[in-house]
Chain A
Amino acid sequence: MDVEVLGTTNDQLRLLVREIEPTFMSAIRRIIMAEVPIPAIDKVYIAENTGVLYDEMLAHRLGLIPLKGGETLTLPEKCSCDKKGCNLCESVLTLEVEAKEDNSIVYSGRLKAEGSVFPANNEIPIVKLNSGQKVALVAHARLGLGKEHAKWQPVSACVVKYEPVISIDSKKCELRAVCVEECPKKILAVKGKNLAVTSIWDCSLCKVCEEVCPNSAIRVSYNDRNSELIVETTGSLSTEELVLAACEVLLHKCEDLKNSIKDLPEAS
């Protein structure tokens, strides 16, 4: 296995992993999406809400705000409180706002953290209020998994892509450059007397070039032994933390399986 970083930004990571089973990469992808615990608001106690958005909608919108700082919390399933909710597995946020003018928007930055958990982004609109309208609430955030509800999904996109393989038959190619124009990703170019691929990993395997080539000089296929993993975080955890956390979860699953097999009674 050989890993290379193809590109990284604040919220996106592109990893190239060579010589790996596609099923293994898919397992990592699925764990990132569904089994890495992150915090999200789960219970809301609304004392006052004179805005037009009713309580349930307000609670739903609060739940979808990505939160940071859940490292100190434990999953309610593993907490000693037996899922009742305590300061080990829950963190409190409060919101108290009265609009001074019409059409004022309440953003996630107005949520005040009483514990370790706080919003990952301060510019997410929660509710729009008119002058004099009030919202006062207490929200309880807890850790959860993406398979329970999408609000606990730490990624907005998590994709595994096989390595594209583009083969160009220079004997058949007449350099009409129809494929260069038609390619939606613009990854083909005429260089000198040859057709060349400029950035192979941007190919989306759409095969438009194959269809428009009158001489069938270009063929697009893929190599599933080399994969690209694209992780785009919502902000709860960094992309690097997400990949590492997914590896940890997979490791624990394997250890659980190993221990279960060890505990089996020997076949007579």
Chain B
Amino acid sequence: MPNVTVDGTEIEVPEGATVLQACELAGKEIPRFCYHERLSIAGNCRMCLVEVKPGPPKPQASCALPATEGQEIRTDSEMVKKAREGVMEFLLINHPLDCPICDQGGECDLQDQAMAYGRGYTRYDENKRAVTEKYMGPLIKTIMTRCIHCTRCVRFSEEVAGVDEIGALYRGENMQITTYLEQAAEHELSANVIDLCPVGALTSRPYAYEARPWELKKTLSIDVSDAMGSNITLCSRGREVLRVLPRINDEVNEEWITDKARYQVDGLQRRRLDKVFLRKRGKLVEGSWDEAFKAIAKAKPGKSIAAIAGDMVDCETMFAAKALVKASGSDLVESRQTGMDYPTGNLAAVNFNTSFAEIENADAVLIVGSNLRTEAALLNVRIRKAVKRGAKVFVVGPEWETTYPAEFLGDDVSVLGKLPKAVTDAFKDAERPALILGAGGLAAGAYDSALGLVETLGLVKDGWNGFNVVHTAAARMGALMLGFAQDGGIADIAKAKPKLVLALGADEVDWEPFADSLKVYIGHHGDKGAHAADIILPAASYAEKPGSYVNTEGRVQFADKAVFAPGDAREDWTILRALADALKVKVGFDNFAQLRAAMTEEVPALAVEGLADYGSLPKTGKAAKAEGKIAYPIADFYLTNPIARASTTMQRCSAELIHGEDVREAAE
């Protein structure tokens, strides 16, 4: 490991580190525009110049220079200061300096670094260059005159997203960043370039001119639009969440989030349930809490009560519901809304055991019934990394557009019983083989045969568990940990014909078999569940309550409350608590702390942030034969949940990117 001296202090840096990294390790700030930890090195902005000896007698780009033994690096010399001022001056030559009307203002690298390292005036008085706006779709707003050609956006789409669509046309002063023929950027992670762009060239279209960063309250939260549990920051002003930004968590979402996680929040303002509603003579009419509770009590459910949880609810809500159901003497709780009924006795068998961070090291991957791009786009990014490192990928299921070379084996689960030789060979040689079973596979009944492959393909090795399940619902793993499941799935509940069904934000349930039950919907959006309900109790969305979530790799994470729920809406657990009083049962908690304490007593793993331990995989006998065509659960990536369906931004994305409507003009 080389030893270098930075501004007079000697430090040891890891093998392969760059001079820039060495300076950072020594606690020195190096200004930069093009360099980004998660992208390849471009070395084209020259902002990171430092003085290095031995070497040519001129400043050098530290981001692209390897640190070697005995280097003497200076970041504080006159040469460096002048170099930075010079680069800054050049960068600003063609920059419009329109900060007062720029959405990046207040969080702009160019602005900050011009303040810290620039000269404060320019000697350039020729005409500036201007570049026409480039259309990049409904999410990315472009003001290309501001672009400083760092190519971060180009590198992101090529390297991380794996969808080569942004490029740099022309050369020199005429260089322009654009997509081919200004087509919309069309992948699930496209809006991450907005965060990457160090200037205001790529900004958020839905958030345009909404707020300045210093006006926003920032709340740490967890994304619920898929089961990845991406770490996010909710930026709110008053009662409104204005935007969502990713938080860095290398174990989970690295530095990215999906477009849905980022942009569904405008749905939090629309189609909200902010009043109590009761169905009277077939019509839902406004009512009071009192009326609603009386009506529920009048149904006299007694033991005949069930709860069905939706895809986005937190553990606390589910626990409160289960406590209520249990206190009434029933155990009818279920979270797999769409009717799946795979066994849930052993949680390791329904968990992503390899962990997201480790899956990058897999060398053979078999995906069964999952379109990762729509179901877990950030996991797909990891698989792409694995492929870049040499992994072979096979997919069982209908074809989808992978962002890496993959071989499709057919769309029937029966393939698992007679895997082609190419697959078995690849797995035989693999040191870290992985199987990824998706919701489509589970629904098609691949659970047993997939588990059977643990033996056959040797998925479990010393220090490596290659059996993985990818869920699509943020609530799923938490629900399973809380025992929110029946052996026969939702069919069991229907069979029991409960008098009272509590639907906790459950919007994908087929309500047909529950025609005789009193259906009480506790949720936040007037979507499918509310339409079917007899009584609607308005509750809080994920942004409006604190809560715990468990992602598909069994990682327990906590989210904070960013804003208050609108109108009469209450946090879910308070509704369930009040309902307990109405039904005259005792649930054993009166406040949130007590609720949490009771929950973690029952499921201790929920008390600790991090990966829960589910023990080892169940022993299986002979691989069971299964048959069934796989269908993916997600038809429209942008409209998978009630919040997204209410969001104008997501609707527009769906119309333009999925259904190919040309809404470009209409938007301007």
A in complex with B: no
